[in-house]
Amino acid sequence: MQNIKEKIENLRATLRYHSDRYYNDDAPEIEDYEYDMMMRELKGLEEKYPEFDSADSPTKRVGGKADN
């Protein structure tokens, strides 16, 4: 069970990093398809293991920061 929790936390961190690179830095490092596959994997794990759900998960928000 610890491996699942670590996998979920690693996916969240990786998705946050790539989302920031894409939306805020305009410097993506991976293809959209790769990002989408990681997001799909995370969503599936969160559904299968709701005890590891988190309100600040990348699956719960959209896009980047608004420009001022």
Q: What is the CATH number of domain 2-53?
A: 1.10.287.610
| Residues with Cβ within 8 Å of residue 15, at least 6 apart in sequence | 35, 38, 39, 42, 58
Residue-wise pLDDT for 26-47, tens only, equals 999 999 999 999 999 999 999 9
Residue-wise pLDDT for 8-32, tens only, equals 999 999 999 999 999 999 999 999 9
Question: Considering the chain, what is the average pLDDT of its residues?
Answer: 91
What residue segments make up the domains of the chain, in order of their start?
A: 2-53
CA dist 7 to 4, 16, 18, Å?
Answer: 5, 14, 16
pTM of this structure? 0.85
